[in-house]
Amino acid sequence: MSSSDKMNILIVDDRYDNLLVLESLLEHMDCNIIKATSGNEALSLMFDYDFALVLLDVQMPNMDGFETAELMRGNSKTRYVPIIFVTAISKEPSCIFAGYEKGAVDYLFKPIEPVILQSKVNVFLELYNQKRLYEDQTKLLELKIKELTKLQQDNHKLQNLSTTDGLTGVPNRRAFDNYLSMTLRNSERSKKPASLIMADIDFFKAYNDNYGHLKGDDCLIQVANSIISSVKRPLDFAARYGGEEFAVILPETTAEQAKVIAENIIEDLKELELKHEYSSVSQFVTLSLGVSEIVFAEDYSMDSFIENADKALYRAKKNGRNQVSY
Ligand SMILES: [Mg+2]
């Protein structure tokens, strides 16, 4: 143990020869002994050091041991430092109790019996050690909790980043794949239908070419938000599938019901009146949508489900755009 790790003991007596005797009795104990010859000196040392224990002479001129103890109890830094009063005066109970009222923890009587002194000091050093150990462990635990909380927050952020489309802020293709695969599993188990809408912005290339990419990005954001707000039921899930293509997964929904939702998506977007002078079907931005319902045939797969919706989308385009096909 280095001297800074060692525990400090403060010994206070107005007679220096008494201090030397005390010091020699405690010398073999593994701690730093610091001496003070008055109550005032003792108090100022307590602000500079942390003490495991104070051995405090009761009879001192100016400020006696009891007054010193009282001032210690009045200060938050020194309030809980244990005190052993060292006194030559009467062992009368009334005198001992006076010391306890000041917050004393123990008494030693002069002439000092080395074995009693050492065993009492040992008890307090052990207590102090336990307290320090406990404080260290508490600090360590707090640190670990902080680290863990930070880790959780980082994980959460990462997960959000990996499932959110950077431009529009709506779920991305990865999130779509996850949700679709979960929906298909649930649907197969419950034997309930599930439908998928694929949506594509009409003449988006012409929009981008004429208005520029910044406007194009802005258009994608508005369309994404419009689709998200059209899809209101708790289990429904809308995502950006890629480019100017969006997808909506509709658990427990037939193609008939999905068609109504797809038509709502068209209507809601129409209300936004996003100008598109380079579209041949409308003066505003419009969508073509394809709907497919999952059929649990022998060879069904997630890909065939998407393929069917894509085929329907292609038909909607071919039939003149700005419409739903299924
Ligand atoms: Mg004295």
Q: How far, in Å, is the centroid of ligand 1 from the Cα of 281?
A: 106
Residue 205 neighbours by CB under 8 Å, 6+ apart: none
What's the CA angle centered on 260, arms 256 and 263, to 5 degrees? 135
Q: How far, in Å, is the centroid of ligand 1 from the Cα of 11?
A: 12
Q: Is the pLDDT of residue 45 over 50?
A: yes
Read off the pLDDT of each residue in 101-121 and give the average, rounded to a whole number: 83
Q: How far, in Å, is the centroid of ligand 1 from the Cα of 227?
A: 88
Q: Is the pLDDT of residue 35 over 60?
A: yes
Query: Is-catalytic flag, 271?
Result: no
d(CA 266, CA 227): 9
d(CA 245, CA 200): 4
Q: How far, in Å, is the centroid of ligand 1 from the Cα of 60?
A: 4
What band does 205 get if pLDDT is binned at 50, 70 and 90?
very high
Tokens standing for residue 152 = 């959780």
Name the fold adopted by 173-325.
Alpha-Beta Plaits (3.30.70)
Tokens standing for residue 104 = 């004393």
Per-chain mean pLDDT for the chain = 90
Q: According to CATH, where is 3.30.70.270 located in the chain?
A: 173-325
Q: Is the pLDDT of residue 87 over 90?
A: no
Instruction: Supply the pLDDT for residue 224.
Output: 97
Annotated active-site residue in 41, 126, 244, 298 = 244
What's the CA angle centered on 176, arms 172 and 177, to 5 degrees? 120
Instruction: Supply the pLDDT for residue 294.
Output: 86
What band does 271 get if pLDDT is binned at 50, 70 and 90?
very high
Instruction: Supply the pLDDT for residue 214.
Output: 95
Per-residue burial over 88-121, b = 16 or more CB atoms within 10 Å of its CB, e = otherwise: eeeeeeeebeebeebbbbbbbeeebeeeebeebb
Q: Using an 8 Å Cβ cutoff, are 265 and 144 in contact?
A: no
Instruction: Supply the pLDDT for residue 80.
Output: 86
Q: How far, in Å, is the centroid of ligand 1 from the Cα of 89?
A: 10
| Torsions phi, psi for 19 (to 5 deg) | -60, -40
Q: Is the pLDDT of residue 162 over 60?
A: yes
Q: According to CATH, where is 3.40.50.2300 located in the chain?
A: 7-137
Read off the pLDDT of each residue in 257-267 and give the average, rounded to a whole number: 97
Q: How far, in Å, is the centroid of ligand 1 from the Cα of 57?
A: 6
Q: Is the pLDDT of residue 255 over 60?
A: yes
Instruction: Supply the pLDDT for residue 98.
Output: 65
Q: Against a cut of 0.75, is the pTM above it?
A: no
d(CA 326, CA 313): 8
Q: How far, in Å, is the centroid of ligand 1 from the Cα of 15?
A: 6
Q: How far, in Å, is the centroid of ligand 1 from the Cα of 13?
A: 5
What is the CATH number that goes with domain 7-137? 3.40.50.2300
Q: How far, in Å, is the centroid of ligand 1 from the Cα of 115?
A: 21
